[in-house]
Chains A and B, each alone.
Chain A
Amino acid sequence: MSYLTLSITLVFVLIPLVLSKTLNLGLEKDTIIATVRSIIQLLAVGYVLQYVFDAEHFIFITLMILLMIGAATQNARRKGASIKGITWKLIVTFIFIEVLTQGILLGLNITPPTAQYIIPISGMVIGNSMVLGILFLNRFTSEIETHQDETELILSLGGTPKQAIHNQLIASIKASTIPTIESQKTIGLVQLPGMMSGQIIAGADPVQAVQFQLLILFLLLTTAVVTSIMLGFLSYPTLFNERMQFLKLKDGES
């Protein structure tokens, strides 16, 4: 696609702008900011990726992954700001997910150890893990606040912190992972995944595109479940002190 053709696609930005203006929706400013940011960010990433792919150096690949983890942490931590030490818990989770998935992919020779494979797959894994982290933290903090009485009841009867928070933890893990599992049930019927569509448009063999998409879907299942469970089990102990007393959540966006 040429830059001229790309510029014509801006008509898809004009449509919401005109509608917003006509109906006084007030979305013009945010739409323009989002458009400009996406153009700059994606073009910058495109050039950076081109350089990293050409250089094919371990350091650059690592730096790219660290950058993704940093950005994902920055984005997700706001939803768990009321949980003590959430930044480190997110970093540890994202690193673990990355090491686990790439360890399996590279260790079993499923994908080649090149930047062209490692970076896009890492992006999808960390991005999905970030979304799952946000979903989990959102639900978990809300469950904790709603069920404070139940938590204290179990503690008062001689239950441990793990027993006292068990129901809220399980409900949050389930609620955050269900969308991933459910969307996979209808994939291919309702929607064609973005990566697969992109490959097909770029001229790849549809069957091969499907094979890669399946690989990603399976990866995302692991990512979803492991992220929620790990964040949950890293987070709940900080809700209690050494005397097994339930601590109030810090004030923060939740």
Chain B
Amino acid sequence: MDTTTKPAVEFRNVNYSADELHILKNITGTFPEGKITTLVGPSGAGKSTLFKLCNGLRSPQSGDILIKNKSINDYDPVELRRNVGIALQSATMIKGSVLENLELPLALQSKSIDHDFAEELLHDVGLQGDFLHRNAKDLSGGQRQKLSIARTLVNRPKILLLDEITSSLDRVSQHDIEELIEKINEKYGTTMIWITHNLKQALDIGHYTWVMMNGEVIETGESSILHSPKNERVQQFVKGELE
């Protein structure tokens, strides 16, 4: 992993269990600031749980997580979550219009969203401005995913966690989102951590990668490690022999 760039997120011997299952096992490693790091691995590797730990929705039983060199426990949870945005695979919507969903992060702070800003955000994720007054429940899976990303961007987070956000999108929309991720990263210097099952995305878009399996980090480094992984299980995964 990059040793010259400051870490935006650092895991130090982190263990997390739930319902008597050891989900994350002694996780240690860094996510460099201002870079795109992909998180790849088979289902059930603990990737989404790791995200919830970064965003403070869960706390580890042991070890520490540092966000910008400060222990996650020293952050006010609300401040932490506004700075570490998360767009989940489920793309959950609240009842109401696209505008109400987009406004949610600000409504939670008793503020309203500027109409032009709302349209700009929709445009950035590839949705038309006239979507604003549609009912969010009427959107397709892909449109909801895009709206979910736009909603996360409202807080202008310094770190953005994206959980399989392109898995339900068609090829064209996937490309739009890939471009958006690169644009946000370049324009705002946002640190991006992106869970993806698409190794091509990891290689093309990601600067760095973490390969996780069964709650452990197996290999980390520049994305190119996916071309010739050292670990035998990672080799199998890259060849598509592990699901």
Is residue B108 within 8 Å, beta carbon to beta carbon, of the partner chain? yes
Q: Quick check: B81 and A157 within 8 Å, CB to CB?
A: yes
- CB pair A156–B94 under 8 Å, yes or no, is no
Give the number of residues in A that approach B within 8 Å (Cβ atoms).
Answer: 17
B81 lies within 8 A of A245 (CB): no
**B153 smallest CB distance to A (angstroms):** 11
Complex partner residue of B78 from A149, A167, A244, CB under 8 angstroms: A244
B82 within 8 A of A: yes
A238 to B86, CA, bound (A): 25
Q: Hey, what's the 0/1 contact readout for A221-247 against B, CB within 8 Å counting as 1?
A: 000000000000000000000011110
Contact assessment for B56 and A157 in the assembled complex, using a CB-CB cutoff below 8 Å = no
Residues in B whose Cβ lies below 8 Å from that of A157: 81-82, 85, 104-105, 108, 151-152, 155
Nearest-neighbour CB distance to chain A for B146, whole angstroms, equals: 16
Q: Which residue of A is nearest B56, CB measured?
A: A243
Interface flag for B37 (CB, 8 Å): no
The CA-CA distance from A163 to B104 in the complex, in Å, is 11
Residues from chain A with a CB closer than 8 A to the CB of B82 are 157-158
Chain B residue at smallest Cβ distance from A161: B77
- State in angstroms the CA–CA spacing of A21 and B78 once bound together: 63
Interface string of A78-89 (1 = CB under 8 A from B): 000000000000
A153-B94, A156-B81, A158-B109 are contacts. A245–B58 as well, Cβ < 8 Å? yes
B77-135, CB < 8 A from A: 77-79, 81-82, 85-86, 88, 90, 92, 94-95, 104-105, 108-109
Check A155 for interface membership: any CB of B closer than 8 A. Answer: yes
Question: Which residues of B, 41-97, contact A by the 8 Å Cβ criterion?
Answer: 55-59, 73, 77-79, 81-82, 85-86, 88, 90, 92, 94-95
Q: Is the CB of A155 within 8 A of B92?
A: no
Given contacts A152-B57, A157-B81, 18 further A-B contacts (CB under 8 A): A152-B92, A154-B94, A154-B104, A155-B81, A156-B86, A157-B82, A157-B85, A157-B151, A158-B78, A158-B81, A158-B82, A158-B105, A158-B108, A159-B78, A163-B108, A243-B73, A244-B78, A245-B77
B: residues with CB less than 8 A from A are: 55-59, 73, 77-79, 81-82, 85-86, 88, 90, 92, 94-95, 104-105, 108-109, 151-152, 155
Q: A residues near B, CB below 8 A? A: 149-150, 152-160, 163, 167, 243-246
